Amino acid sequence: MVQWEIMATAGGVDVRARMASICSGGGNAVEERNERAIRRAAELVGESSTIVVFTGAGVSTESGIPDFRSPGGIWSKYQPVEFGEFLAKREARERYWIRSRETYPSLAEAQPNPAHLAIVELERMGKLDCVITQNIDGLHQKAGNSPEKVIELHGNTHWVECLNCNHWSPRSKWQKVLELGVAVPECPDCGGMLKVHTVSFGQPMPEQQTREAERRSRRCDLFIVVGSSLVVYPAAQIPALAVNSGARLVMVNLTRTHMDDHADAVIREKAGPALTLVLEQARQG
Ligand code: NAD
């Protein structure tokens, strides 16, 4: 119960008011569809024992981290720096570190929201096989998911690595250096190129994590997508692997995706209130 009280207020989101609004039905066709989808998702959670949750930027927007593609998203302010450019041009590395300097403080301060906490609840219920995340914000671990249950496909923004000697250091340590005016920091051990431990466009995906994500997806009985537009490949093809291997599929996303037609339940609602309700109904049976 304590957990649910926390969930009701976490992240400054008034989950109970939102839940009441969804549950009231009130003749609104979208809300009624969502209410049915939430009930169906809760049944599927109840029937399943090996659940994989796949998350994208949309699971963290209620924590104040903008996604890429919604209006006001990160791309409306910063042009992405491709990996090839990063390696080839100092000017690209300068742009990369400006964006990092400006966006890191809000990423460091962000707190998990009710959607992250609902996924922790799935782990407490013994049903969560793993969370496969495209996010780099570390909020699943901060919410309380066991680190070994979180597979990060695009890395983690809280670490910096040297591309030459593999020296690792916490990203927080570099914020002061950047704020003091260093435009492109260098490795303290070998003077090599430093980069945040996240996957840029054009940079290879981490092999071991990708293989593990595919393996887990093929053997789960329920696959839940939360807050992903499913347009970034190869991560976006993982839900299809699960469905083709016989898993049921639940989609929780504000906008339509190419997997909606293959889903057993499509919830077009904010992830925090939607997942809170799904978990609450699943626990009640
Ligand atoms: P995306 O920006 O392409 O799509 C986000 C999706 O989430 C959209 O379809 C949107 O409708 C939906 N959404 C937004 N808020 C929502 C909410 N409250 N509830 C439910 N749905 C919501 O993000 P993506 O699919 O993850 O792909 C973009 C890439 O950007 C990823 O590879 C990821 O690495 C990176 N990214 C990460 C973060 C982060 O770590 N928090 C933030 C921005 C981008």
Q: Does the beta carbon of 52 sit less than 6 angstroms from any atom of ligand 1?
A: no
Q: Does the beta carbon of 271 sit less than 6 angstroms from any atom of ligand 1?
A: yes
- What pLDDT does residue 106 have? 93
- What pLDDT does residue 19 have? 56
| DSSP assigned state of 256 | -
| Protein residue with its CA nearest to atom 40 in ligand 1 | 135
| Protein residue with its CA nearest to atom 8 in ligand 1 | 229
| Interstrand relation of 155-162 and 194-198 (parallel, antiparallel or unpaired) | antiparallel
Contacts of 271 (CB under 8 A, 6+ apart): 58, 59, 62, 113, 115, 226, 227, 252
Give the integer Cα–Cα distance in Å for 231 and 162. 29
- What pLDDT does residue 8 have? 44
Query: What DSSP line would sit under 56-75, residue for residue?
Result: -GGGTGGGT---SSSTT-GG
Q: Could you tell me the distance, in angstroms and rounded to a whole number, from the CA of residue 137 to the centre of ligand 1? A: 11
Domain boundaries, the chain: 1-65+113-154+206-285, 66-109+155-198
Neighbours of 265 (CB within 10 A): 21
| Protein residue with its CA nearest to atom 31 in ligand 1 | 134
Give the integer Cα–Cα distance in Å for 62 and 21. 18
Adjacent-strand bridge partners of 150: 131
Q: Per CATH, is 1-65+113-154+206-285 categorized as 3.40.50.2300?
A: no
Q: Does the beta carbon of 267 sit less than 6 angstroms from any atom of ligand 1?
A: no
| Protein residue with its CA nearest to atom 41 in ligand 1 | 57
Each of the 285 residues of the chain gets a pLDDT tens digit; together they read 334 444 444 444 455 555 555 555 445 777 888 999 999 999 999 999 999 999 999 999 999 998 877 666 566 678 889 999 999 999 999 999 999 999 999 999 999 999 999 999 999 999 999 999 999 999 999 999 999 999 999 999 999 999 999 999 999 999 999 999 999 999 999 999 999 999 999 999 999 999 999 999 999 999 999 999 999 887 789 999 999 999 999 999 999 999 999 999 999 999 999 999 999 999 998
Q: Could you tell me the distance, in angstroms and rounded to a whole number, from the CA of residue 256 to the centre of ligand 1? A: 13
- What pLDDT does residue 72 have? 62
Q: What is the widest separation between alpha-carbon atoms in the chain?
A: 65
**Contact, 261 vs 246, CB < 8 A?**
no
Residue 137 Cα: closest atom of ligand 1: 40
Give the integer Cα–Cα distance in Å for 47 and 255. 27
Please choose, from the candidates 240, 101, 105, the residue with its C-alpha nearest in 3D space to the C-alpha of residue 178.
101
Q: Could you tell me the distance, in angstroms and rounded to a whole number, from the CA of residue 34 to the centre of ligand 1? A: 20
Give the integer Cα–Cα distance in Å for 281 and 207. 37
Q: Does the beta carbon of 203 sit less than 6 angstroms from any atom of ligand 1?
A: no
- Domain 66-109+155-198: which topology? SIR2/SIRT2 'Small Domain' (3.30.1600)
Question: Which of 34, 67, 132, 232 has most ligand 1 atoms within 8 Å of CB, for mutation?
Answer: 67
Q: Does the beta carbon of 239 sit less than 6 angstroms from any atom of ligand 1?
A: no
Q: Could you tell me the distance, in angstroms and rounded to a whole number, from the CA of residue 33 to the centre of ligand 1? A: 23
pLDDT in tens, 135-178: 999 999 999 999 999 999 999 999 999 999 999 999 999 999 99
Query: What DSSP line would sit under 155-173, residue for residue?
Result: EEEEEEEETTT--EEEHHH
Catalytically annotated residues:
154
- What pLDDT does residue 215 have? 98
Q: Could you tell me the distance, in angstroms and rounded to a whole number, from the CA of residue 69 to the centre of ligand 1? A: 7
Cis peptide leading into residue 234 (ω within 30°): yes
Residue 271 Cα: closest atom of ligand 1: 19
pLDDT in tens, 30-62: 788 899 999 999 999 999 999 999 999 999 999
**Contact, 228 vs 153, CB < 8 A?**
no
Give the integer Cα–Cα distance in Å for 218 and 239. 9
